[in-house]
Amino acid sequence: MTNIWGLIDDRTGHTGQVLGVITRLGIPYALKRLEYNRLAALPSFLIGNSLLALDKGRSAPLDGPFPSLLIAAGRRTLPVLRHIKKQSPSTRTIYLMRPESMAGIDLAVVPEHDGVAPASNVITSLAPLHAVTPDTLAAARKAWAPQFAHLPRPFITLCMGGNTKRGQYAPAEWRDVVNRAILLAGHGSLLVTTSRRTPADAMALITPLLQLPHVLHRWDTDKDNPYLGMLACADGIVVTGDSLSMCAEACVSGAPVFIYASPHVAPMKHQLLHQTLYDRGLAHPLNNTARLDWRPAHALDDVGHVVAEIRTRFAALF
C-alpha cells in the first residue's frame, strides 16, 4: 500500500519541493495532481478544510484509503491537506512552506529567512527545498558531459532568472551579470540557461555579448532542458539572486557559486538568504573582486537534513 501522498499542482517550484522530500524518504508514494477552479484565488482560510476550490473532474482522486503521511507545498494545497486530515486524523501532514496558520498541519518546514518563531511543530531549512540532489546531479553529469566535451574549460554556468513583483532589472544590469560571468570564464566557456521570468529584451541585450564558446538554452524551446547538466558540469556557477530556488539548487553542486543580487529586484527575504549563504561559505557575491576559487566548495543538503528530521519525528511510519 502506498504510504505517502504528495500534493502537486502547476507551480513548478512547489512541486519540486514535494518531490525533493518525498523521493528521499525511500518508501512508496503517489503524487496527487490538483487542478483548481476560480475559488482557488481566495485565501485558503476562507476555503477551510474543503475541496471547494478543486476542479474534481481534472484532479487526481482523493478518496480513501488515506495515506500514513501527506506532503504539500503552496497556498492552494492547504484546504486539500486540511480536508484529508479531517477525513483521516491519523494521517501525518507536512507542509513545506510558511503556512498562514498551522491548522491541520502536524509539521511545517520553513526557510530561515521567513522568520517563523521556533515551535515544536516547526523545523527550519536554510533555503527553500527543491528536487536537486547529489544523485540527480550525478545522473545529469553522465548524460550531459559528452555534449559539452567540445568546449574549453573552465565551464561557468550562468542561471538567469528575471524580474519580480519588487522591480525589474535595468538593461545595464543584464549586461553586467553576463560580462562578470565572462570574466570568470576567462579562456573557458559559458553554459547559459534562462527561466520563465527572463524577459525577451534581456535576451536581445545579452546575446551579442556571447563571443566566447558557449551553450545558450532558452526555457521556452522544445529542446531537452540542460539545466541540471549545466549545474553538474560547472566549474563555477553564476546565478541571479531573484530566484531563491535557483540559488539553493546551485549550492548543491559543490562548485563555487556567485550570486548577482540587484537591490531593485530582490526583496528583503531574498537578501537575507543571500547573506546567510555568504556567511556559511556556500556562495559569494558576484562583485568586482570576484575570483574563481578552485577549491571544492561545501555543498548544501537542506533536503537531507529535513528528511532525517521527518524520519526521527515520525519514526513509527518508517
Q: What is the pLDDT of residue 151?
A: 97
Q: What is the pLDDT of residue 165?
A: 81
CA nearest neighbour of 276 among 80, 67, 114: 114
Residue range 107-132: mean pLDDT, rounded: 90
Report yes or no: 155 and 235 within 8 Å, Cβ to Cβ: yes
Residue range 30-53: mean pLDDT, rounded: 92
- From the number of C-beta atoms within 10 Å of its C-beta (0-12, 13-18, 19+), residue 223 rates as exposed
Residue with the bigger pLDDT between 153 and 318: it is 153
pLDDT tens string 238-263: 999 998 899 999 999 999 999 999 88
Helix axes 12-22, 302-313, angle to 10 degrees: 60
Distance (Å) of CA 276 to CA 12, 37, 272:
25, 38, 6
DSSP single-letter state for residue 64: S
Query: Is pLDDT of 1 > 60?
Result: no
